[in-house]
Structure 1
Amino acid sequence: MASSSSSLHSSASSSHKLLASRKVFSSSLFNGFQRHRRYRFIASFPSSHATSRSFSCLSIKCAVRFRPCIDIHKGKVKQIVGSTLRDLKEEDGSALVTNFESDKTAAEFANLYKEDGLMGGHVIMLGADDLSKATAIEALRAYPGGLQVGGGINVNNALSYIEEGASHVIVTSYVFNNGQMDLERLKDLVRVVGKQKLVLDLSCRKKEGRYAIVTDRWQKFSDVYLDEKVLEFLANYADEFLVHGVDVEGKRLGIDEELVALLGRHSPIPVTYAGGVTVMNDLERIKVAGDRRVDVTVGSALDIFGGNLPYKDVVSWHTQQETLMV
Protein backbone atom coordinates (compact mmCIF):
# COMPACT_ATOMS: atom_id res chain seq x y z
CA MET A 1 0.00 0.00 0.00
CA ALA A 2 3.01 2.30 0.35
CA SER A 3 3.62 4.88 -2.38
CA SER A 4 6.76 4.96 -4.47
CA SER A 5 9.49 7.18 -3.07
CA SER A 6 9.36 9.43 -6.13
CA SER A 7 5.65 10.24 -5.98
CA LEU A 8 5.81 12.81 -3.20
CA HIS A 9 8.96 14.48 -4.51
CA SER A 10 7.71 14.71 -8.08
CA SER A 11 4.49 16.34 -6.93
CA ALA A 12 6.45 18.81 -4.80
CA SER A 13 8.82 19.82 -7.58
CA SER A 14 6.04 20.04 -10.12
CA SER A 15 4.00 22.38 -7.95
CA HIS A 16 7.07 24.00 -6.26
CA LYS A 17 5.55 25.75 -5.14
CA LEU A 18 -15.36 20.30 34.76
CA LEU A 19 -18.16 17.41 34.30
CA ALA A 20 -20.17 17.99 37.47
CA SER A 21 -23.42 19.88 36.87
CA ARG A 22 -22.72 20.30 33.21
CA LYS A 23 -25.32 22.13 31.19
CA VAL A 24 -26.13 20.01 28.19
CA PHE A 25 -27.02 21.53 24.85
CA SER A 26 -30.32 20.68 23.24
CA SER A 27 -32.59 22.18 20.65
CA SER A 28 -34.22 24.30 23.35
CA LEU A 29 -30.99 26.28 23.55
CA PHE A 30 -31.91 27.90 20.28
CA ASN A 31 -35.20 29.30 21.59
CA GLY A 32 -34.90 33.03 21.34
CA PHE A 33 -32.14 32.79 18.75
CA GLN A 34 -32.96 35.14 15.91
CA ARG A 35 -31.34 36.67 12.90
CA HIS A 36 -30.61 40.36 13.42
CA ARG A 37 -28.97 41.24 10.11
CA ARG A 38 -26.63 39.57 7.64
CA TYR A 39 -23.80 37.92 9.64
CA ARG A 40 -24.94 39.62 12.84
CA PHE A 41 -26.87 37.62 15.38
CA ILE A 42 -28.58 37.93 18.74
CA ALA A 43 -28.89 34.91 20.99
CA SER A 44 -30.46 34.40 24.38
CA PHE A 45 -29.22 31.64 26.64
CA PRO A 46 -31.71 29.79 28.85
CA SER A 47 -30.49 30.01 32.43
CA SER A 48 -31.47 31.44 35.77
CA HIS A 49 -29.74 34.63 34.66
CA ALA A 50 -30.94 34.71 31.08
CA THR A 51 -29.27 37.42 29.06
CA SER A 52 -29.07 38.38 25.44
CA ARG A 53 -25.82 38.99 23.67
CA SER A 54 -25.12 40.85 20.48
CA PHE A 55 -22.36 39.51 18.30
CA SER A 56 -20.19 41.49 15.93
CA CYS A 57 -20.23 40.97 12.21
CA LEU A 58 -18.60 37.73 11.09
CA SER A 59 -17.01 37.77 7.65
CA ILE A 60 -16.12 34.92 5.33
CA LYS A 61 -13.92 34.62 2.29
CA CYS A 62 -15.49 34.57 -1.14
CA ALA A 63 -13.23 32.11 -2.95
CA VAL A 64 -12.56 28.42 -2.52
CA ARG A 65 -9.25 27.18 -1.15
CA PHE A 66 -7.70 23.74 -1.11
CA ARG A 67 -6.96 22.57 2.43
CA PRO A 68 -4.49 19.66 2.52
CA CYS A 69 -4.66 16.87 5.06
CA ILE A 70 -2.43 14.47 6.99
CA ASP A 71 -4.35 11.58 8.54
CA ILE A 72 -2.35 9.60 11.09
CA HIS A 73 -3.16 6.09 12.32
CA LYS A 74 -0.77 4.25 14.63
CA GLY A 75 1.98 6.67 13.70
CA LYS A 76 1.62 6.21 9.93
CA VAL A 77 0.16 8.55 7.34
CA LYS A 78 -2.88 6.73 5.98
CA GLN A 79 -6.10 7.25 4.10
CA ILE A 80 -8.89 5.32 5.80
CA VAL A 81 -12.60 5.03 5.09
CA GLY A 82 -13.66 7.03 8.12
CA SER A 83 -16.96 5.25 8.64
CA THR A 84 -15.04 2.01 9.35
CA LEU A 85 -13.09 3.50 12.27
CA ARG A 86 -13.88 1.94 15.62
CA ASP A 87 -12.30 1.79 19.05
CA LEU A 88 -10.81 -1.54 18.09
CA LYS A 89 -8.61 -3.63 20.30
CA GLU A 90 -4.97 -3.57 19.27
CA GLU A 91 -5.17 -7.02 17.75
CA ASP A 92 -8.44 -6.50 15.93
CA GLY A 93 -8.27 -4.35 12.82
CA SER A 94 -10.48 -6.52 10.67
CA ALA A 95 -13.22 -3.91 10.25
CA LEU A 96 -10.86 -1.11 9.24
CA VAL A 97 -10.77 -0.24 5.54
CA THR A 98 -7.44 1.37 4.58
CA ASN A 99 -7.19 2.98 1.16
CA PHE A 100 -3.52 3.89 1.45
CA GLU A 101 -0.51 3.82 3.76
CA SER A 102 2.47 6.05 2.96
CA ASP A 103 6.16 5.38 3.42
CA LYS A 104 6.59 9.12 3.91
CA THR A 105 6.44 10.74 7.32
CA ALA A 106 3.86 13.27 8.44
CA ALA A 107 6.65 15.85 8.66
CA GLU A 108 7.51 15.26 4.99
CA PHE A 109 3.93 15.96 3.98
CA ALA A 110 3.94 19.06 6.20
CA ASN A 111 7.06 20.31 4.45
CA LEU A 112 5.46 19.69 1.06
CA TYR A 113 2.43 21.78 2.01
CA LYS A 114 4.72 24.48 3.40
CA GLU A 115 6.73 24.63 0.16
CA ASP A 116 3.51 24.98 -1.83
CA GLY A 117 2.15 27.73 0.42
CA LEU A 118 -0.93 25.76 1.49
CA MET A 119 -2.29 27.10 4.77
CA GLY A 120 -4.92 25.71 7.10
CA GLY A 121 -4.41 22.01 6.42
CA HIS A 122 -5.61 19.38 8.86
CA VAL A 123 -3.51 16.92 10.85
CA ILE A 124 -5.95 14.33 12.18
CA MET A 125 -4.98 11.66 14.70
CA LEU A 126 -7.18 8.64 14.00
CA GLY A 127 -6.47 7.08 17.36
CA ALA A 128 -5.41 7.95 20.87
CA ASP A 129 -2.03 6.17 20.84
CA ASP A 130 1.17 7.96 21.84
CA LEU A 131 2.86 7.18 18.52
CA SER A 132 0.19 9.03 16.55
CA LYS A 133 0.45 11.99 18.91
CA ALA A 134 4.24 12.15 18.51
CA THR A 135 3.90 11.90 14.73
CA ALA A 136 1.36 14.73 14.68
CA ILE A 137 3.65 16.94 16.74
CA GLU A 138 6.49 16.32 14.28
CA ALA A 139 4.25 17.62 11.49
CA LEU A 140 3.25 20.70 13.50
CA ARG A 141 6.87 21.51 14.22
CA ALA A 142 7.75 21.14 10.54
CA TYR A 143 5.14 23.74 9.55
CA PRO A 144 4.48 25.98 12.56
CA GLY A 145 1.33 28.03 12.18
CA GLY A 146 0.38 26.32 8.93
CA LEU A 147 -1.58 23.32 10.18
CA GLN A 148 -4.56 22.59 12.38
CA VAL A 149 -4.69 19.46 14.55
CA GLY A 150 -7.54 17.25 15.71
CA GLY A 151 -8.19 13.89 17.32
CA GLY A 152 -8.62 13.48 21.07
CA ILE A 153 -8.44 17.21 21.74
CA ASN A 154 -9.82 18.31 25.12
CA VAL A 155 -9.52 21.20 27.54
CA ASN A 156 -6.47 19.64 29.20
CA ASN A 157 -4.31 19.14 26.10
CA ALA A 158 -5.57 21.74 23.62
CA LEU A 159 -3.10 24.45 24.57
CA SER A 160 -0.14 22.07 24.33
CA TYR A 161 -0.83 21.52 20.62
CA ILE A 162 -1.00 25.27 20.04
CA GLU A 163 2.36 25.58 21.79
CA GLU A 164 3.76 22.87 19.50
CA GLY A 165 2.86 24.95 16.45
CA ALA A 166 -0.77 24.23 15.56
CA SER A 167 -2.65 27.24 14.25
CA HIS A 168 -5.92 25.78 15.57
CA VAL A 169 -7.23 22.75 17.43
CA ILE A 170 -10.10 20.77 15.92
CA VAL A 171 -12.71 19.41 18.31
CA THR A 172 -15.73 17.13 18.03
CA SER A 173 -16.28 14.37 20.56
CA TYR A 174 -15.17 16.39 23.58
CA VAL A 175 -17.92 18.91 22.91
CA PHE A 176 -20.54 16.53 21.49
CA ASN A 177 -20.64 14.28 24.52
CA ASN A 178 -22.99 11.29 24.81
CA GLY A 179 -24.97 12.40 21.79
CA GLN A 180 -25.55 15.95 22.97
CA MET A 181 -23.62 19.18 22.95
CA ASP A 182 -21.98 20.11 26.24
CA LEU A 183 -21.99 23.89 26.10
CA GLU A 184 -19.88 24.23 29.23
CA ARG A 185 -17.11 22.15 27.69
CA LEU A 186 -17.23 24.34 24.60
CA LYS A 187 -16.97 27.47 26.71
CA ASP A 188 -14.06 25.95 28.63
CA LEU A 189 -12.18 25.37 25.38
CA VAL A 190 -12.79 28.94 24.27
CA ARG A 191 -11.45 30.20 27.59
CA VAL A 192 -8.31 28.07 27.28
CA VAL A 193 -7.30 28.57 23.63
CA GLY A 194 -9.56 31.38 22.45
CA LYS A 195 -12.28 31.38 19.82
CA GLN A 196 -9.72 32.36 17.16
CA LYS A 197 -7.81 29.08 17.71
CA LEU A 198 -10.79 26.72 17.71
CA VAL A 199 -12.22 24.70 14.82
CA LEU A 200 -15.41 22.74 15.40
CA ASP A 201 -15.64 19.49 13.47
CA LEU A 202 -19.30 19.15 12.53
CA SER A 203 -18.91 16.02 10.43
CA CYS A 204 -22.28 14.52 9.74
CA ARG A 205 -24.32 11.68 8.30
CA LYS A 206 -27.80 11.63 6.84
CA LYS A 207 -30.51 10.55 9.28
CA GLU A 208 -34.18 10.77 8.40
CA GLY A 209 -33.41 13.26 5.64
CA ARG A 210 -31.32 15.60 7.82
CA TYR A 211 -27.62 15.93 8.57
CA ALA A 212 -26.89 14.77 12.11
CA ILE A 213 -23.50 15.57 13.64
CA VAL A 214 -21.63 12.34 14.41
CA THR A 215 -18.95 11.73 17.03
CA ASP A 216 -16.66 9.01 18.41
CA ARG A 217 -14.94 8.20 15.13
CA TRP A 218 -18.19 8.99 13.32
CA GLN A 219 -19.99 6.01 14.85
CA LYS A 220 -22.43 7.82 17.17
CA PHE A 221 -25.23 10.10 16.04
CA SER A 222 -25.75 13.22 18.13
CA ASP A 223 -29.12 14.89 18.56
CA VAL A 224 -27.79 18.05 16.90
CA TYR A 225 -28.60 18.58 13.23
CA LEU A 226 -26.86 20.98 10.88
CA ASP A 227 -29.10 23.85 9.89
CA GLU A 228 -28.97 27.62 9.73
CA LYS A 229 -29.60 28.28 13.42
CA VAL A 230 -27.08 25.69 14.62
CA LEU A 231 -24.35 27.05 12.36
CA GLU A 232 -25.07 30.62 13.37
CA PHE A 233 -25.01 29.75 17.05
CA LEU A 234 -21.81 27.70 16.95
CA ALA A 235 -20.03 30.36 14.90
CA ASN A 236 -19.87 32.43 18.07
CA TYR A 237 -17.54 29.87 19.63
CA ALA A 238 -15.26 28.91 16.73
CA ASP A 239 -13.01 30.44 14.11
CA GLU A 240 -13.86 27.81 11.48
CA PHE A 241 -15.90 24.68 10.85
CA LEU A 242 -14.66 21.41 9.38
CA VAL A 243 -17.34 19.14 7.93
CA HIS A 244 -16.76 15.65 6.56
CA GLY A 245 -19.58 14.20 4.52
CA VAL A 246 -19.20 10.85 6.26
CA ASP A 247 -21.53 8.97 3.94
CA VAL A 248 -19.14 9.57 1.01
CA GLU A 249 -15.82 10.20 2.78
CA GLY A 250 -12.96 8.00 1.63
CA LYS A 251 -15.14 6.15 -0.88
CA ARG A 252 -14.49 8.25 -4.01
CA LEU A 253 -18.21 8.29 -4.74
CA GLY A 254 -18.43 11.96 -5.61
CA ILE A 255 -19.24 14.85 -3.33
CA ASP A 256 -22.32 15.41 -1.19
CA GLU A 257 -23.54 18.43 -3.12
CA GLU A 258 -26.57 18.97 -0.90
CA LEU A 259 -24.35 19.26 2.17
CA VAL A 260 -21.96 21.64 0.41
CA ALA A 261 -24.88 23.86 -0.58
CA LEU A 262 -26.17 23.92 3.00
CA LEU A 263 -22.76 25.02 4.26
CA GLY A 264 -22.39 27.66 1.58
CA ARG A 265 -25.79 29.14 2.34
CA HIS A 266 -25.66 29.15 6.11
CA SER A 267 -22.13 29.15 7.56
CA PRO A 268 -21.21 32.66 8.73
CA ILE A 269 -17.54 31.70 9.27
CA PRO A 270 -14.99 29.88 7.08
CA VAL A 271 -15.94 26.24 6.54
CA THR A 272 -14.09 23.35 4.93
CA TYR A 273 -15.85 20.39 3.32
CA ALA A 274 -14.25 16.95 2.94
CA GLY A 275 -15.62 13.84 1.31
CA GLY A 276 -15.93 12.17 -2.05
CA VAL A 277 -13.74 14.35 -4.27
CA THR A 278 -12.57 12.14 -7.14
CA VAL A 279 -11.86 14.34 -10.19
CA MET A 280 -10.98 17.98 -10.82
CA ASN A 281 -14.55 18.76 -11.78
CA ASP A 282 -15.62 17.94 -8.22
CA LEU A 283 -13.66 20.99 -7.07
CA GLU A 284 -15.63 23.17 -9.46
CA ARG A 285 -18.88 21.60 -8.29
CA ILE A 286 -17.99 22.48 -4.70
CA LYS A 287 -17.19 26.03 -5.75
CA VAL A 288 -20.56 26.43 -7.44
CA ALA A 289 -22.70 24.54 -4.90
CA GLY A 290 -21.03 26.34 -2.00
CA ASP A 291 -21.30 29.75 -3.64
CA ARG A 292 -17.50 30.19 -3.41
CA ARG A 293 -17.73 30.09 0.38
CA VAL A 294 -16.72 26.50 1.11
CA ASP A 295 -13.10 25.35 1.16
CA VAL A 296 -12.25 21.78 0.19
CA THR A 297 -10.06 18.95 1.43
CA VAL A 298 -9.00 16.12 -0.87
CA GLY A 299 -7.61 12.88 0.52
CA SER A 300 -7.73 9.41 -1.02
CA ALA A 301 -8.16 10.70 -4.57
CA LEU A 302 -4.76 12.45 -4.64
CA ASP A 303 -1.81 10.73 -6.29
CA ILE A 304 0.34 11.43 -3.22
CA PHE A 305 -2.13 9.21 -1.33
CA GLY A 306 -2.35 6.48 -3.96
CA GLY A 307 -5.17 7.98 -6.03
CA ASN A 308 -5.37 9.23 -9.60
CA LEU A 309 -5.90 12.96 -9.07
CA PRO A 310 -2.59 14.81 -9.55
CA TYR A 311 -1.67 16.79 -6.45
CA LYS A 312 0.11 19.37 -8.64
CA ASP A 313 -3.13 19.99 -10.55
CA VAL A 314 -5.05 20.62 -7.34
CA VAL A 315 -2.35 23.03 -6.15
CA SER A 316 -2.53 24.86 -9.49
CA TRP A 317 -6.31 25.08 -9.13
CA HIS A 318 -5.88 26.44 -5.61
CA THR A 319 -3.45 29.10 -6.85
CA GLN A 320 -5.95 30.15 -9.50
CA GLN A 321 -8.69 30.50 -6.87
CA GLU A 322 -6.47 32.72 -4.72
CA THR A 323 -6.49 35.34 -7.46
CA LEU A 324 -10.28 35.50 -7.04
CA MET A 325 -10.19 36.20 -3.30
CA VAL A 326 -11.64 39.45 -2.13
Structure 2
Amino acid sequence: MSFKKDEMLIMPAVDIKNGKCVQLVQGEPGSEMVELENPELVAKHWEDLGARNIHVIDLDGTINGIASLDTIEKILNEISIPIQLGGGIRSLDYARQLLNLDIERLIIGTMGIQHPETITELSDEYGSDRIMISLDSKDNKVVIKGWREKIDKSPVELSSEFKEYGAGSILFTNVDVEGLLGGFYTDPVVELKESVDIPIVYSGGITTIDDIKKLNESGVDGIVIGSALYKDKIDLTEALKYQKR
Protein backbone atom coordinates (compact mmCIF):
# COMPACT_ATOMS: atom_id res chain seq x y z
CA MET A 1 0.00 0.00 0.00
CA SER A 2 1.62 3.23 -1.12
CA PHE A 3 1.66 6.22 1.19
CA LYS A 4 -0.97 8.91 0.73
CA LYS A 5 -0.51 12.60 1.29
CA ASP A 6 -3.63 13.00 3.42
CA GLU A 7 -2.99 10.15 5.84
CA MET A 8 -0.56 8.55 8.27
CA LEU A 9 -0.51 4.78 7.78
CA ILE A 10 -0.67 2.94 11.14
CA MET A 11 1.10 -0.43 11.15
CA PRO A 12 1.06 -2.98 13.99
CA ALA A 13 4.43 -4.65 14.55
CA VAL A 14 4.80 -8.41 14.40
CA ASP A 15 8.40 -9.15 15.39
CA ILE A 16 9.32 -12.82 14.97
CA LYS A 17 11.86 -14.87 16.92
CA ASN A 18 12.07 -18.65 17.34
CA GLY A 19 8.72 -19.03 15.58
CA LYS A 20 6.95 -16.69 18.00
CA CYS A 21 5.72 -13.11 17.98
CA VAL A 22 7.80 -11.18 20.52
CA GLN A 23 8.46 -7.67 21.74
CA LEU A 24 11.95 -6.95 23.06
CA VAL A 25 13.12 -4.05 25.21
CA GLN A 26 15.45 -1.94 23.04
CA GLY A 27 16.11 -4.94 20.81
CA GLU A 28 18.01 -6.88 23.48
CA PRO A 29 17.79 -10.69 23.13
CA GLY A 30 16.39 -12.19 26.31
CA SER A 31 14.38 -9.07 27.18
CA GLU A 32 11.07 -10.39 25.83
CA MET A 33 8.13 -8.54 27.39
CA VAL A 34 5.72 -10.28 25.00
CA GLU A 35 5.94 -13.82 23.63
CA LEU A 36 3.02 -15.25 21.63
CA GLU A 37 2.64 -18.42 19.59
CA ASN A 38 1.57 -18.38 15.92
CA PRO A 39 2.73 -14.97 14.62
CA GLU A 40 0.54 -15.48 11.54
CA LEU A 41 -2.56 -15.52 13.75
CA VAL A 42 -1.36 -12.41 15.58
CA ALA A 43 -1.03 -10.65 12.21
CA LYS A 44 -4.51 -11.87 11.25
CA HIS A 45 -5.88 -10.46 14.51
CA TRP A 46 -4.55 -7.00 13.63
CA GLU A 47 -5.95 -7.33 10.11
CA ASP A 48 -9.36 -8.25 11.53
CA LEU A 49 -9.28 -5.12 13.69
CA GLY A 50 -8.77 -2.96 10.61
CA ALA A 51 -5.01 -2.70 10.02
CA ARG A 52 -4.19 -2.13 6.35
CA ASN A 53 -0.51 -3.04 6.59
CA ILE A 54 1.62 -5.17 8.93
CA HIS A 55 5.22 -4.41 9.91
CA VAL A 56 7.24 -7.61 10.28
CA ILE A 57 10.80 -7.80 11.64
CA ASP A 58 12.72 -11.06 11.49
CA LEU A 59 14.70 -10.91 14.72
CA ASP A 60 16.28 -14.30 14.07
CA GLY A 61 17.75 -12.87 10.90
CA THR A 62 18.88 -9.71 12.67
CA ILE A 63 20.39 -11.36 15.75
CA ASN A 64 21.59 -14.75 14.50
CA GLY A 65 21.71 -14.35 10.74
CA ILE A 66 19.27 -17.27 10.36
CA ALA A 67 16.21 -16.27 8.37
CA SER A 68 12.72 -17.18 9.60
CA LEU A 69 11.46 -17.78 6.09
CA ASP A 70 8.88 -20.40 7.14
CA THR A 71 7.25 -17.98 9.59
CA ILE A 72 7.32 -15.15 7.05
CA GLU A 73 5.56 -17.36 4.50
CA LYS A 74 2.94 -18.39 7.07
CA ILE A 75 2.14 -14.72 7.71
CA LEU A 76 1.90 -14.00 3.99
CA ASN A 77 -0.44 -16.97 3.54
CA GLU A 78 -2.66 -16.06 6.49
CA ILE A 79 -3.40 -12.40 5.77
CA SER A 80 -4.65 -10.53 2.74
CA ILE A 81 -3.14 -7.12 3.53
CA PRO A 82 0.40 -6.08 2.55
CA ILE A 83 3.43 -6.41 4.81
CA GLN A 84 6.65 -4.48 5.02
CA LEU A 85 9.52 -6.69 6.15
CA GLY A 86 13.00 -6.20 7.53
CA GLY A 87 15.64 -8.01 9.55
CA GLY A 88 18.74 -9.91 8.54
CA ILE A 89 18.70 -8.97 4.86
CA ARG A 90 22.39 -9.33 4.15
CA SER A 91 22.56 -10.21 0.46
CA LEU A 92 20.97 -9.18 -2.80
CA ASP A 93 19.96 -12.79 -3.45
CA TYR A 94 17.96 -12.97 -0.21
CA ALA A 95 16.44 -9.55 -0.82
CA ARG A 96 15.26 -10.71 -4.25
CA GLN A 97 13.89 -13.94 -2.77
CA LEU A 98 11.76 -11.92 -0.35
CA LEU A 99 10.61 -9.40 -2.95
CA ASN A 100 9.59 -12.27 -5.20
CA LEU A 101 7.38 -13.57 -2.37
CA ASP A 102 5.35 -10.40 -2.90
CA ILE A 103 6.55 -8.49 0.16
CA GLU A 104 5.19 -5.01 -0.45
CA ARG A 105 8.15 -3.10 1.01
CA LEU A 106 11.52 -4.49 1.98
CA ILE A 107 13.35 -2.71 4.79
CA ILE A 108 17.09 -2.66 4.18
CA GLY A 109 19.36 -1.64 7.06
CA THR A 110 23.03 -2.55 7.47
CA MET A 111 23.52 -3.86 3.93
CA GLY A 112 22.15 -0.67 2.39
CA ILE A 113 24.15 1.65 4.63
CA GLN A 114 27.42 -0.21 4.08
CA HIS A 115 26.76 -0.93 0.39
CA PRO A 116 24.36 1.74 -0.90
CA GLU A 117 24.69 0.47 -4.44
CA THR A 118 22.47 -2.45 -3.37
CA ILE A 119 19.63 0.03 -2.79
CA THR A 120 20.05 1.35 -6.33
CA GLU A 121 20.14 -2.14 -7.79
CA LEU A 122 17.00 -3.32 -5.99
CA SER A 123 15.14 -0.07 -6.72
CA ASP A 124 15.98 -0.36 -10.40
CA GLU A 125 14.75 -3.98 -10.48
CA TYR A 126 11.63 -3.76 -8.31
CA GLY A 127 10.75 -0.06 -8.12
CA SER A 128 11.79 2.39 -5.43
CA ASP A 129 8.36 2.19 -3.75
CA ARG A 130 9.24 -1.34 -2.62
CA ILE A 131 12.61 -0.43 -1.10
CA MET A 132 12.76 1.24 2.32
CA ILE A 133 16.02 2.20 4.02
CA SER A 134 16.17 1.76 7.79
CA LEU A 135 17.84 4.57 9.73
CA ASP A 136 18.04 3.55 13.39
CA SER A 137 19.21 6.31 15.69
CA LYS A 138 20.93 6.21 19.08
CA ASP A 139 22.22 9.47 20.57
CA ASN A 140 21.43 11.03 17.16
CA LYS A 141 23.87 8.72 15.36
CA VAL A 142 22.86 5.91 13.03
CA VAL A 143 23.38 2.41 14.42
CA ILE A 144 23.69 -0.78 12.39
CA LYS A 145 24.20 -4.53 12.89
CA GLY A 146 21.23 -4.97 15.20
CA TRP A 147 21.96 -1.62 16.92
CA ARG A 148 25.35 -2.90 18.09
CA GLU A 149 27.59 -0.63 15.98
CA LYS A 150 27.38 3.16 15.68
CA ILE A 151 28.51 5.17 12.65
CA ASP A 152 29.49 8.82 12.76
CA LYS A 153 26.56 10.23 10.84
CA SER A 154 23.14 11.42 11.92
CA PRO A 155 19.89 10.22 10.33
CA VAL A 156 19.48 13.61 8.64
CA GLU A 157 22.98 13.40 7.14
CA LEU A 158 22.28 9.96 5.70
CA SER A 159 18.69 10.52 4.62
CA SER A 160 19.44 12.76 1.65
CA GLU A 161 22.08 10.33 0.39
CA PHE A 162 19.65 7.45 0.27
CA LYS A 163 17.05 9.30 -1.71
CA GLU A 164 19.76 9.71 -4.35
CA TYR A 165 20.52 5.98 -4.21
CA GLY A 166 16.87 5.20 -4.98
CA ALA A 167 15.22 4.39 -1.66
CA GLY A 168 11.49 5.07 -1.89
CA SER A 169 10.93 5.61 1.84
CA ILE A 170 12.71 5.68 5.20
CA LEU A 171 11.99 3.81 8.42
CA PHE A 172 13.27 5.93 11.31
CA THR A 173 13.58 4.16 14.65
CA ASN A 174 14.61 6.09 17.74
CA VAL A 175 16.48 3.39 19.67
CA ASP A 176 16.80 5.67 22.71
CA VAL A 177 13.09 5.20 23.45
CA GLU A 178 12.22 1.98 21.59
CA GLY A 179 10.43 -0.64 23.67
CA LEU A 180 10.44 1.41 26.87
CA LEU A 181 6.77 2.49 26.75
CA GLY A 182 7.78 5.95 27.90
CA GLY A 183 6.90 8.15 24.95
CA PHE A 184 9.23 9.68 22.37
CA TYR A 185 10.86 12.93 21.28
CA THR A 186 9.12 14.83 18.49
CA ASP A 187 12.06 16.98 17.33
CA PRO A 188 14.17 14.24 15.67
CA VAL A 189 11.13 13.06 13.70
CA VAL A 190 10.23 16.54 12.50
CA GLU A 191 13.85 17.33 11.62
CA LEU A 192 14.12 14.21 9.49
CA LYS A 193 10.74 14.78 7.84
CA GLU A 194 11.80 18.29 6.87
CA SER A 195 15.15 17.13 5.44
CA VAL A 196 13.79 14.88 2.67
CA ASP A 197 10.73 14.67 0.46
CA ILE A 198 10.27 10.90 0.49
CA PRO A 199 7.89 9.15 2.93
CA ILE A 200 9.06 8.72 6.54
CA VAL A 201 7.73 5.97 8.80
CA TYR A 202 8.43 6.42 12.51
CA SER A 203 8.97 3.72 15.14
CA GLY A 204 9.97 3.85 18.80
CA GLY A 205 8.36 4.74 22.11
CA ILE A 206 4.79 5.22 20.88
CA THR A 207 2.81 4.61 24.05
CA THR A 208 -0.45 6.59 24.07
CA ILE A 209 -3.12 7.91 21.74
CA ASP A 210 -1.68 11.39 22.40
CA ASP A 211 1.62 10.17 20.92
CA ILE A 212 -0.28 9.15 17.78
CA LYS A 213 -1.94 12.56 17.58
CA LYS A 214 1.46 14.28 17.82
CA LEU A 215 2.88 12.11 15.07
CA ASN A 216 -0.12 12.77 12.86
CA GLU A 217 0.52 16.50 13.31
CA SER A 218 4.24 16.06 12.58
CA GLY A 219 3.48 15.04 9.00
CA VAL A 220 5.09 11.59 9.05
CA ASP A 221 3.68 9.21 6.49
CA GLY A 222 3.39 6.16 8.71
CA ILE A 223 4.02 4.83 12.21
CA VAL A 224 4.78 1.42 13.66
CA ILE A 225 3.21 0.47 16.99
CA GLY A 226 4.52 -2.53 18.88
CA SER A 227 4.72 -2.93 22.64
CA ALA A 228 1.90 -0.47 23.38
CA LEU A 229 -0.55 -2.66 21.46
CA TYR A 230 0.55 -5.85 23.14
CA LYS A 231 0.54 -4.33 26.63
CA ASP A 232 -2.91 -2.77 26.09
CA LYS A 233 -1.64 0.80 26.32
CA ILE A 234 -3.17 1.58 22.91
CA ASP A 235 -6.35 0.17 21.37
CA LEU A 236 -5.76 -0.36 17.64
CA THR A 237 -9.34 0.47 16.69
CA GLU A 238 -9.01 3.84 18.44
CA ALA A 239 -5.56 4.44 16.96
CA LEU A 240 -6.78 3.83 13.41
CA LYS A 241 -9.04 6.87 13.71
CA TYR A 242 -5.89 8.97 13.37
CA GLN A 243 -4.81 7.60 10.00
CA LYS A 244 -6.51 10.54 8.31
CA ARG A 245 -4.99 14.00 8.67
User: TM-score, with normalisation over the residues of structure 2?
Assistant: 0.86
- Note if contact 2:173-2:202 (Cα within 8 Å) is conserved in structure 1: yes
- Note if contact 1:145-1:166 (Cα within 8 Å) is conserved in structure 2: no
Q: Which residue of 2 aligns with 1:98?
A: 32
Q: Which residue of 2 aligns with 1:40?
A: none
Q: CA deviation at 1:102?
A: 1.1
Q: Deviations over 1:166-218 (max 9, x none)?
A: 101111011223xxxx2323223323433121011111111xxxx22111111
- Note if contact 2:201-2:223 (Cα within 8 Å) is conserved in structure 1: yes
Question: Are residues 75 and 194 of structure 1, via their aligned partners in 2, closer, same or farther at CA, if it must alter by over 3 Å?
Answer: same
Q: Which residue of 2 aligns with 1:248?
A: 177
Distance 1:223 1:189 in 2: 26
Question: Are residues 239 and 142 of structure 1, via their aligned partners in 2, closer, same or farther at CA, if it must alter by over 3 Å?
Answer: farther
- Note if contact 1:61-1:293 (Cα within 8 Å) is conserved in structure 2: no
Q: Which residue of 1 aligns with 2:162?
A: 234
- Note if contact 2:9-2:243 (Cα within 8 Å) is conserved in structure 1: yes
Q: Considering fraction of residues, name the structure with more helix.
A: 2
Q: Deviations over 1:256-309 (max 9, x none)?
A: 222222133223122111111122111112223x2x33422111111xx2x132
Report 1:283-298 matches (<5 A). 283-288=212-217, 290=218, 292-298=219-225
Runs ≥4 residues deviating over 3 A = none
Question: Are residues 268 and 315 of structure 1, via their aligned partners in 2, closer, same or farther at CA, if it must alter by over 3 Å?
Answer: farther
Distance 1:285 1:98 in 2: 28
Unpaired runs of 5+ residues, structure 1, are: 1-58, 86-95
Q: Deviations over 1:212-255 (max 9, x none)?
A: 2111111111233222x642332241222111110110011211
1:77 partner letter:
C
User: Which residue of 30, 36, 48 maps to 1:115?
Assistant: 48
1:159 and 2:92 matched: no
The alignment-based identity, stated in percent, is 23
Question: Are residues 267 and 63 of structure 1, via their aligned partners in 2, closer, same or farther at CA, if it must alter by over 3 Å?
Answer: farther
Report 1:311-326 matches (<5 A). 311=235, 314-322=236-244, 324=245
Higher-Rg structure is 1
Distance 1:321 1:145 in 2: 16
Q: How many residues align?
A: 238
Q: Which residue of 2 aligns with 1:169?
A: 106
1:81 and 2:18 matched: no
Q: Which residue of 2 aligns with 1:217?
A: 146
SS in 2 for 1:276: coil
Q: Deviations over 1:15-58 (max 9, x none)?
A: xxxxxxxxxxxxxxxxxxxxxxxxxxxxxxxxxxxxxxxxxxxx
2:105 partner letter:
H
SS in 2 for 1:217: coil
Distance 1:198 1:250 in 2: 25
User: Which residue of 201, 225, 240 maps to 2:134?
Assistant: 201
1:309 partner letter:
K
